[in-house]
Amino acid sequence: MSDFTTTIGLEVHCQLLTQAKMFCRCSTDYIGKEPNTLVCPVCLGLPGSLPVLNQKVVELALRAALALHCQILPQTLFHRKNYFYPDLPKGYQISQYDLPIGIDGFLEFYSQGVRKKARIRRIHIEEDAGKLVHEGAFLPPGTSGVDCNRCGIPLVEIVTEPDLSSPEEARDCLMMLRNIVCYLEVSDGNMEEGSLRCDANISLSSSSLTGVKVEVKNMNSFRSVYRALSYEVERQRKLLEEGKPVFQETRHWDEIKGVTVSARGKEEAEDYRYFPDPDLLPFSLKTEMIEEIKSGLLELPLEKEERFMTQYELSQGEAEILVQDREIADFFEDTLRNFNKPRMVCNWIVTEVFRNLKELGTTISRAKITPSHLAELLKMVDRKEISGTMAKSVLEEMFTSGARAREIVTRRGMALINDEKELENIVKEVIEKNPQSVADYLSGKEKALQFLIGQVMKETRGQADPELTRNILIKVLSSEE
Amino acid sequence: MKIEEFKDFTIQDYHHLLEEKKISPLELIDIFLERIEEGEDKIHAFLFVNEEKAKNEAREKTDNWPEELPPLWGLPVAIKDNICTQGMPTTCGSKMLENFVSPYDATVVERLKAAGAIILGKTNMDEFAMGSSTENSTFGPTHNPLDLRRTPGGSSGGSAASVCALEAPCALGSDTGGSVRQPAAFCGVVGLRPTYGRVPRYGVVGLASSLDQAGPITRKVEDAITILEVISGKDSRDSTCAPYPPFSRNEIPSLEDIRKIKVGVPREYFSSRVEKVIGEKIQEALGKLKGEGVELVEVSLPHTDYALEAYYIVASAEASSNLARYDGVMYGLRVEGEDLQDMYFETRTLGFGKEVKRRIILGTYSLSSGHYDEYYLKSMKVRTLVRKDFEEALKQCNLLITPTTPSFPFFLGEETQDLYERYTDDIFTIPSALAGLPSLSLNCGYEGGLPVGLQIIGGPFEEGKLLGLALWLEKLLALPSPFPELKEGRGQ
Amino acid sequence: MKEVVYLSELEKIARLSKLGFSAEELQSFLRDINDIVAHFEKLNQLDLQDVSSTSHLGGGEPPFFSDEPQAWEGSEEVLKGAPWVAGGYFIVPRIVDKEEKENEDRRI
């Protein structure tokens, strides 16, 4: 059949990391709080209340816009988006319409090892709405409850052009976007908690058929994004192959059933009657401020990833894992300052360090281990003062106690025995105790050598340097001949 | 002391009385509460009289007399019912907020209280400030104390009437398209609309955000100055409030400099639509100024004729959005419904009166897709032209003088077939509001017992010049302050 | 070309504004609105091509506030004065409509 081209665009909302809300001084720390306790006349939309803009919101949004290479408009202003809903106290949302904070940017990322680019159409700021609950013991029957703690939390909305050509790309693009906002400390980018949310537009087209845009909502994790869009590609492909029409509509992703379901909209499209909010003056984003933020922008995930690849000769996959979390990337580089073997450090971080962090349920910044601690440990491994297996155990203790490697090794007597004289004695002992194996080895059975090495290991409780042991064994055995 | 003795008092006069301990705050408040009781069943200026709390406050002040009295210490002030006052109703003249008690004070109220004032009560108004007669109040109209058969104007009709009848020494109103000035004119008192951004709007229930300003309604220009000094100045809770310090009477030029002011007379405000007597009285006042050596200049504000339409589009559009919050969910009236949509419709249909609904429809229409450019965008452009008119005119002169209204206060209950004609009552107050300019109305004469309002318009933030000229003109005119006997029919 | 507001349009506007009218009221409003809109025609006499629009009065840079939270003590009073509160939530008729859920999904 004909080949179809997939076209995907993303619309991403991020909650901004401010202490106070967008237009009032209420705290943004609403998770787990009693309903309607972090509120004031402004975010409740009481008669006579007025909005005043939180400076930090502009800073953070600008940071994001600049990092995404957007053109910053000389003047920006707020518009009202008018509609009725219980979680919208004023009956309108303060948002931006035709003068958003940034336009025409782009985002680069890796997808399946290939460097990709997605253009950013616009980035704008708007306030969040409240929370609705539909279930709960306290709810009288037949009702829903409104909690305004979340009203007025600042959001940034990022819209990409439909430049993504597969569900993988969409997911990878989203992940890079998330990394960027996390790196910038603009948002904590948590999809599960709702501080990062993604909607997508997807269409399939061919040489003979123009695509029909379908909006997909309710994807609550990176995996959902991938699954939902993959499902959509298949669904639309099937329809088109059967010559059936694809409707332009909004579909909801059902995580449990693994399908998208049509959410047929109202017959009458909502008319939001956007107009400039007269309670908030237009303001200009000064060049000094823009320059200051630009120069303060730290190295972004992609730059870091590519630098790691060239500077440390890591593979794209390795680099990618390290830069996901800026703190891990920093930890990696800090370790290298004391122990300059990138591949080894990388390997230890992505296996053992990650494992320990996961088991303890903590993050690298809160962990008891420091980069110099890790470096010290790895130096010992590198110098064969301890074996790799020993080191894993030492690391575990370092994580739980915060003690240093050397101290642990000494205390637990784990030092690798690499004293030739000492080893030789042990080897001779083992040879004496195992005449059959010796005979086997001397008659050509390589396996017997392994057995003998194992016995030396047993004798030394794993502390014998394996390579040295091997060499000594061979030397002694050959002299036996 | 008796209420009659306060007929010609300024706020400073009350202040001196209190300073000299010739009267106590409690005695003072009692006098006004008595006057209110006397007058209210005829005038109906108040929707809520703060009797108990005001007396308690007055008692407390009387018991704790400070060394130095803050400027408004012990002064009773009436507040228009669309300005939030904690612990007492703020109804906006509407069923929608009939039982609403604001949990916070408007900035202007905070400032009055900090200066020692006592809130006497909340005054009647056209519902959500939409109207110019106070007949649109859900709770019944206010009667003009100078002729109880007539309207006191609107939407701050209650405030103007209370000051006229001396039920309150002074009041706060709000002016969007003339709602302070027109009732002041109809009641023979002073009404000031400050420059947009001069007085904070935080706590003033929004009608049209780019037009609303709270302003004083007083018996003398001197009092408008005193109140303005207290309520004006930047407010960190209002983004549209200019970052300037409060107005100070030091900004008022000396008499010598005031004489040098050039007064512009815009020809468009003296057309045939102005009632003859009103035009004559204004000319008389202008003549007095001329006689004192003031230069009069004829100017033109060519887009005056378009200001009304532009205003109604902008004001309705903003109002339709500002009134969307009245949905029965968190405060105010709620009518339970079968479902959410039902609740919205029932609540808003019952809660709002006809004029409010009309303006909401008009506003929603102007902003709706397909009509935005035709109406809203267009009117914003006309607004630019109106502003430019004033800018140009104020290059040739310092202040403009016009009639405040084209006609005398009309009879209550007078049905107008043409809805639009009622809107044109505001034709002289609207343009300066659109342009955000400071303007004041003061009485310049009586005709058959009815007052004629004279309007002075100034340049942005030039309240100093404006109030200076107003003070002087008031002196020159030397008119008696209103003190109606509150009998049926004519007052004065 | 004279703009005329038709009944269907008025009905749509009424729905958008959540205002209910009887058939009679609708007719009365239709007359009023058309009357007013007819007056708005006057604005077409002006050439507004090169005129900038004034969307805001007040010039200068608006105030911002610095990112420090400050608690407000009045939330309990608001809840006390609300039409219907349970468990600390404002209570509304149950939202089950899928189209309304869609509105909800527009947010985070």
One pLDDT digit (tens) per residue for chain B, 492 residues: 899 999 999 999 999 999 999 999 999 999 999 999 999 999 999 999 999 999 999 999 999 999 999 999 999 999 999 999 999 999 999 999 999 999 999 999 999 999 999 999 999 999 999 999 999 999 999 999 999 999 999 999 999 999 999 999 999 999 999 999 999 999 999 999 999 999 999 999 999 999 999 999 999 999 999 999 999 999 999 999 999 999 999 999 999 999 999 999 999 999 888 999 999 999 999 999 999 999 999 999 999 999 999 999 999 999 999 999 999 999 999 999 889 999 999 999 999 999 999 999 999 999 998 899 999 999 999 999 999 999 999 999 999 999 999 999 999 988 666 777 778 889 999 999 999 999 999 999 999 999 999 999 999 999 999 999 999 999 999 999 999 987 555 443
Chain-centre distance for alpha carbon B2:
27
- Tell me the pLDDT band of A389, cut-offs 50, 70 and 90: confident
**What's the confidence (pLDDT) of residue B492?**
39
Asked if C69 lies within 8 A of A218 by C-beta distance, the reply is: no
d(CA A87, CA B231): 34
Q: Do A95 and A130 share a domain, yes or no?
A: yes
A257 and A325 co-located in one domain: no
The band of A50, judged by pLDDT with boundaries at 50, 70 and 90, is: very high
Tally C-beta pairs within 8 A across A and B: 97
Distance of CA A25 to the CA centre of its chain: 30
> Residue C13: which of B344, B361, B378 has the nearest Cβ?
B361
Give the three-class secondary structure for A199: strand
User: In chain C, which among 9-68 make CB contacts under 8 A with chain B?
Assistant: 9-10, 13-14, 16-21, 29, 32-33, 35-37, 39-40, 42-43, 45-46, 48, 51-58, 60, 62-63, 65
DSSP letter (8 states) at residue B388: H
Question: Is C93's CB within 8 Å of A142's CB?
Answer: yes
Q: Is the pLDDT of residue C106 over 90?
A: no
Residue B464 C-beta-side C-alpha neighbours within 13 Å: 14
Are C43 and B303 a contacting pair at CB < 8 A?
no
Tell the CATH topology of B3-260+400-477: Amidase signature (AS) enzymes (3.90.1300)
Measured between CB atoms, which of A28, A54, A283 is closest to C61? A283
Residue numbers in B near A46 (CB within 8 A)? 102-104, 331
Q: In which domain, by residue range, is A454 found? A: 420-480
Q: Which residue of A has its CA nearest to B372?
A: A273
C74 contact residues in B (CB cutoff 8 A) = 103-104
Residue A342 phi, psi (nearest 5): -50, -45
Q: Kindly state whether A280 is in contact with chain C, defined as any CB-CB distance less than 8 angstroms.
A: yes
CB contact under 8 A, B84 and A48: yes
Give the pLDDT band (50/70/90) at residue A447: confident
The percent of residues in chain A predicted with pLDDT above 90, rounded, is 67
Q: What is the predicted pLDDT for the residue at B415?
A: 67
What's the pLDDT band for C59 if we cut at 50, 70, 90?
Answer: low
Q: Are residues A121 and A183 in the same domain?
A: yes
Q: In this complex, do A77 and C55 lie within 8 Å of one another by their Cβ atoms?
A: yes
The answer to whether residue A264 scores a pLDDT higher than 80 is no
For the stretch A312-334, pLDDT in tens is: 999 999 999 999 899 999 999 99
| B445 near C CB under 8 A | no
Of A205, A268, A263, A199, the residue nearest A239 (C-alpha)? A205
Kindly determine whether residue C63 and residue B243, on different chains, have CB atoms separated by under 8 Å: yes
Residues A212 and A78 both lie in one domain: yes
Q: Tell if the CB–CB gap between C105 and A85 is shorter than 8 Å.
A: no
Q: How far is CA B384 from CA A275, B10, B435, C55, in A?
A: 17, 39, 8, 9
Pull the structure tokens for residue A361.
């349920």
**What is the model's pLDDT at position A423?**
84
Chains that touch C (3 or more CB pairs under 8 A): A, B
Q: What is the mean pLDDT of residues A289-308?
A: 91
B369 and C CB contact within 8 Å:
no
Query: What is each CA distance from B345 to A69, B339, B350, C21, in whole angstroms?
Result: 46, 10, 8, 10
Average pLDDT over residues A198-213: 90
Local confidence band at A74 (pLDDT 50, 70, 90 cut-offs): confident
Q: Which pairs from B487-491 meet CB under 8 Å and 24+ separation?
A: B487/B148, B488/B42, B488/B148, B489/B147, B489/B148, B489/B149, B490/B146, B490/B147, B490/B449, B491/B144, B491/B145, B491/B146, B491/B147, B491/B148, B491/B449
Sheet containing A275-276: give its strands across. A92-95, A79-82, A275-276
The yes-or-no verdict on residue A413 having pLDDT over 80 is no
In chain B, residues under CATH classification 3.90.1300.10 are 3-260+400-477
For residues B304 and C63, which has the higher predicted lDDT (pLDDT)?
B304
For chain A, which chains pass the contact test of at least 3 CB pairs under 8 Å?
A: B, C
Q: Which residue in chain C has the smallest CA separation from A271?
A: C16
pTM here is 0.90
Task: Decide if A196 is inside a domain.
Answer: yes
**Segment holding A447, helix H or strand E:** helix A446-459
Query: A residues 289-308 near C, CB within 8 Å?
Result: none
Under a CB-based contact definition with an 8 Å cutoff, are residues B245 and B33 in contact? no
Contact list, A25 vs chain B (CB under 8 Å) = none
**Which pLDDT score is estimated for B81?**
98
The angle formed by the CA atoms of residues B83, B86 and B91, to the nearest 5 degrees, is 45
Rounded Cα–Cα distance for residues A127 and A124 (Å): 10
The encoded tokens of residue A316 equal 């794209």
Inform me whether the pLDDT recorded for C98 exceeds 70.
no
Tell me how close the Cα of A233 comes to any Cα of chain C, in angstroms. 22
B401 Cα to chain C: minimum distance (Å): 23
At position A350, the amino acid (one-letter code) is: V
Q: Is residue A79 part of a domain?
A: yes
Mean pLDDT of C56-62: 74
Cβ proximity of A131 and A109 under 8 Å? no
Of residues B317 and A268, more confidently modeled? B317
Residues in chain A with CB shorter than 8 Å from the CB of B206 are 47-48, 50, 279
Q: List the subunits that have 3+ CB pairs under 8 angstroms with B.
A: A, C
d(CA B393, CA B385): 12
User: How many distinct structural domains can be found in chain A?
Assistant: 3
Of B38, B217, B224, nearest to B125 by C-alpha is B217
Residue that terminates a domain, selected from A234, A255, A288: A288
* Closest by Cβ to B324, choosing from A53, A92, A271: A92
Alpha-carbon separation of residue B325 from A49, C15, C17 (angstroms): 11, 16, 11
Whether A151 and A83 share a structural domain = yes
By a Cβ cutoff of 8 Å, what residues of chain A touch chain B? 41, 44-53, 80, 82, 84, 86, 89-92, 146, 148, 271, 273, 275, 278-281
Q: Who's near B101: CB < 8 A, 6+ residues apart?
A: B86, B87, B88, B89, B90, C81
And the tokens for B411? 């009879």
**Does B239 contact C at CB distance below 8 Å?**
yes
C56–A56 C-beta distance less than 8 A:
no
Which helix (H) or strand (E) covers residue B447, if one does?
strand B439-447
pLDDT of amino acid A219: 93
Q: How far is A57 from chain B (nearest CA, A)?
A: 16
Same domain (yes/no): A280, A375: no
Per-residue model confidence (pLDDT) at position C3: 65
Plot region of B237 (φ>0 → left; ψ -120 to 50 → alpha; else → beta)? alpha
- Final residue before a domain boundary, out of A362, A393, A411: A411
Query: Rounded to an integer, what distance in angstroms lies between the CA atom of residue B283 and that of residue B281?
Result: 5
The phi and psi torsions of B266 (rounded to 5 degrees) equal -75, 125
pLDDT at C99: 45
Q: Where are the domains of chain C?
A: 7-45, 75-105
Mean pLDDT of A369-393: 89
| DSSP state letter for B261 | P
Q: Do B381 and C20 touch (CB under 8 A)?
A: no
Q: Which two tokens stand for residue A113?
A: 């090892």
Res. C2 pLDDT band, cuts 50 70 90: low
Contact C36 B419 (CB under 8 A): yes
Nearest CA-CA partner of B89 in B54, B127, B49, B142: B49
**Could you read off the pLDDT of A83-113 as tens digits, one per residue?**
999 999 999 999 999 999 999 999 999 999 8
Pair (A47, A187) in one structural domain: yes
Q: Which residue among B320, B337, B378 places its CB closest to the CB of C48?
A: B378
Say if the Cβ atoms of A48 and B205 lie within 8 Å.
yes
pLDDT number for residue C107: 45
Q: Residue A465: pLDDT above 90?
A: no
Question: How many CB atoms within 10 Å of residue C69?
Answer: 15
Distance from CA of C94 to the nearest CA of B (A): 7
Interface test with B, best of A22, A25, A50, A151 (most B CBs within 10 A): A50
A16: pLDDT strictly greater than 90: yes
**Predicted pLDDT at B488:** 55
How far is C-alpha B429 from the chain's CA centre? Answer: 11
For C66, nearest residue in chain A (alpha carbons) = A55
User: Do C16 and B357 count as a contact with CB atoms less than 8 A apart?
Assistant: no
User: Are B103 and C92 in contact (CB < 8 Å)?
Assistant: no
Choose the weakest-confidence range: A214-218, A260-264, B20-24.
Answer: A260-264
User: Which whole-number Å values give the CA distances from B70 to B22, B30, B356, C34, in the listed order?
Assistant: 17, 21, 40, 54
Q: What is the DSSP string of C68-81?
A: -----TTHHHHHHH
Q: Do A35 and C89 touch (CB under 8 A)?
A: yes
A132 contact C CB<8A = yes
Asked if the C-beta of C80 comes within 8 angstroms of chain B's C-beta atoms, the answer is: no
Which pLDDT band, with edges at 50, 70 and 90, does A429 fall under? confident
Q: Among B327, B361, B383, whose Cβ lies nearest the Cβ of C54? A: B383
Who among C56, C88, C108 is closest to A36 (CB)? Answer: C88
Active site residues of B: 80, 155, 179
CB A377 within 8 A of CB A391: yes
